[in-house]
Homo-oligomer: A and B are copies of this chain.
Amino acid sequence: MIPVRGLPEVREEDDVAALIADAVELEGGDVVVVAQKVVSKAEGRVVRLDDVKASAQARDLADGEDPRRLEVILGESVRLVRTRPPLVIAETRHGFVCASAGVDASNAPEPDSVVLLPEDPDASAARLRSRLAELTGVDVAVIVSDSFGRAWRQGTTDVAIGCAGLQPLLDLQGRRDATGYELHATVIAVADELAGAAELVRGKLDGVPAAVVRGFGHRGEGTARELVMPPQRDLFR
């Protein structure tokens, strides 16, 4: 686990891959985990609240907080899963279920602005991967991570919202454990575990928006969309 230190504050149109490639010596097979916030900022996914007009629904949900922030959250949501004003758990257009539809005010570039999730975090990861290959000549996997809460458990863990160059799910179906029992229900969300591991060395406040996992020995291709439970299998819609 290698924290990527010394990155400057990222602004729109910054070349995040170049910043990472300058900060750390990448090796083939590395998994580069990049916090969603820097990816979103580089992609200009920032909304100034002065440009937002709150609807009646947003005012209802605000419960004393800024209703314009709630309006942005509604705009990013395809479905409200639970609300306890001002807390909103929503499904994003990507299919992720998370607090505030991923809209976040912390680490925003200016006080009265909020940061949205990337339009297509898998495409963001693929672009970063391709640019890193161009700059360094080595093939790495890229995960775009964000901190999600969980049902029934306290605290957030970082999960993969975008992924390139890595199978996000390690499927052990049909393989057998040491006693011969068929592991028919064992599919491990390794991309989420990698994102969480990276968070441990990044820290929230230390300005370390990326980390490299070396030696995981991943293979294959896949997207973070595969981590979204299909509606027909989802017992918690």
Contact = CB atoms under 8 A, between A and B. Distances in A.
A169 interface: yes
Given A111-B180, A180-B111, A183-B204, A169 B154 contact: yes
Sort A-B residue pairs by CB-CB distance and give the 5 closest, nearest first.
A155-B189, A197-B197, A193-B196, A151-B236, A97-B152
Interface of A: 1, 9, 82, 84, 87, 89, 91, 96-97, 99, 105-111, 147, 150-159, 168-170, 172, 175-181, 183, 185-190, 192-194, 196-197, 199-200, 204-205, 207, 216, 226-230, 234-236
25 contacts: A82-B235, A82-B236, A87-B235, A96-B152, A99-B185, A105-B181, A107-B177, A107-B179, A108-B179, A109-B179, A111-B179, A111-B180, A147-B186, A147-B188, A150-B189, A153-B228, A155-B187, A156-B187, A157-B192, A172-B204, A177-B205, A193-B197, A193-B200, A200-B216, A236-B236
